[in-house]
Amino acid sequence: MLNALEVFTTVVVGLMVGVEFAVAFVLNPILGGLPGDNGLRGRVHGARMLGAVMPFWYIGSLVLSAVWAVAAWHDDGAVLVVIGAALLIVSVVMSVVLLVPINNRSKAWNTENLPEDWKEQLGRWDGFHYVRVAVIIAAFALLVTALV
């Protein structure tokens, strides 16, 4: 049963990493290269869609990692799982404190109501997101390492 939990948790976290990596290094650069306000429209839609899904994914990943850490407390890789779960906590705190406020503002944007600093806000979101991606990649790497 523990093996199934370990594999399931690693897959869930790995998929989350893949989505967030794709947002940072594939989707947002593509949207940024579109003409007119098309890129902004895409980012606003993404803020709405992913903003509704990702909280459950982040919290679910954290809960799964915590359950794994407790279930495997006396195993050799438990320390790695605990550190991975701690990094997932960091990613959740970063999300709530740094990224979600910008995301919530941007969900209501359109070409008629853009704040003057909208590009700077998206740039800050991107910068915070790059750091968050690095944090969840590190968490994922620790979980994978704990499997072996």
List pLDDT tens digits, range 68-81: 999 999 888 899 99
- Residue 23 per-residue DSSP state: I
Per the document, the length of the chain is: 148
Say how far apart CA 137 and CA 19 lie, in whole Å: 11
This prediction's pTM: 0.94
Place of tokens 């704990």: 146
Q: What is the pLDDT of residues 73-121, one digit of tens each?
A: 988 889 999 999 999 999 999 999 999 999 999 998 988 889 999 999 9
Say how far apart CA 23 and CA 54 lie, in whole Å: 12
Say how far apart CA 71 and CA 96 lie, in whole Å: 28
Please, which residues have CB within 8 angstroms of residue 100's CB and are 6 or more apart in sequence?
A: 51
Say how far apart CA 30 and CA 108 lie, in whole Å: 21
Say how far apart CA 26 and CA 12 lie, in whole Å: 20
Residue 142: pLDDT over 90: yes
Sign of CA dihedral 96, 48, 84, 82: positive
